[in-house]
């Protein structure tokens, strides 16, 4: 009788191990599908963009760069206007480069100065109207 019980126990253990293997295989397939989907170029770009937008340092750097670049372009436009002179265009490009670098490095200081200038400019206009 002991051999019958031992055989039944062994069969039960085999069934448990088979079910465990089937469960592990299912989990492995699900993880493979998730990994496969995450390596698609669209999902990689989404992940990079999400990381960029959630990291405060990168957001600040991008904002500083954008402000610097736009300031540089405005400075170049102020100097060159619609001129086709190569000398004037070269000077405008140099000014754009310099303004872009300065503004992107010192964004907080430049923004404080700009806001002070705007406030004083608008306050003068209000005082002149009165």
Q: How far is CA 113 from CA 64, 100, 103, 119, 128, in A?
A: 15, 16, 11, 10, 22
Q: Is 37 exposed, middle or buried (0-12, 13-18, 19+ CB in 10 A)?
A: exposed
pLDDT score of 1: 46
Kindly give, in sequence order, each residue whose CB lies less than 8 Å from that of residue 77, ignoring residues fewer than 6 positions away: 92
For residue 83, the 8-state DSSP code is -
pLDDT score of 19: 97
- The pLDDT tens digits along the chain (130 residues) read 456 788 899 999 999 999 999 999 999 999 999 999 988 888 888 888 887 777 777 667 777 778 778 888 888 888 888 878 888 888 888 888 888 888 877 777 777 777 777 778 777 666 666 5
């Amino acid at each position: 009788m002991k051999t019958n019980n031992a055989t039944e126990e062994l069969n039960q253990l085999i069934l448990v191990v088979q079910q465990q293997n089937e469960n592990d295989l299912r989990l492995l397939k699900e993880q493979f599908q998730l990994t496969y989907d995450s390596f698609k170029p669209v999902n990689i770009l989404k992940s990079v963009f999400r990381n960029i937008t959630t990291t405060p340092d990168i957001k600040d750097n991008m904002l500083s760069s954008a402000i610097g670049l736009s300031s540089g372009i405005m400075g170049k436009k102020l100097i060159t206007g619609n001129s086709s002179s190569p000398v004037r265009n070269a000077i405008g490009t140099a000014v754009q480069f310099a303004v872009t670098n300065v503004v992107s490095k010192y964004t907080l200081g430049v923004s404080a100065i700009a806001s002070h200038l705007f406030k004083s400019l608008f306050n003068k206009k209000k005082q002149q109207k009165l």
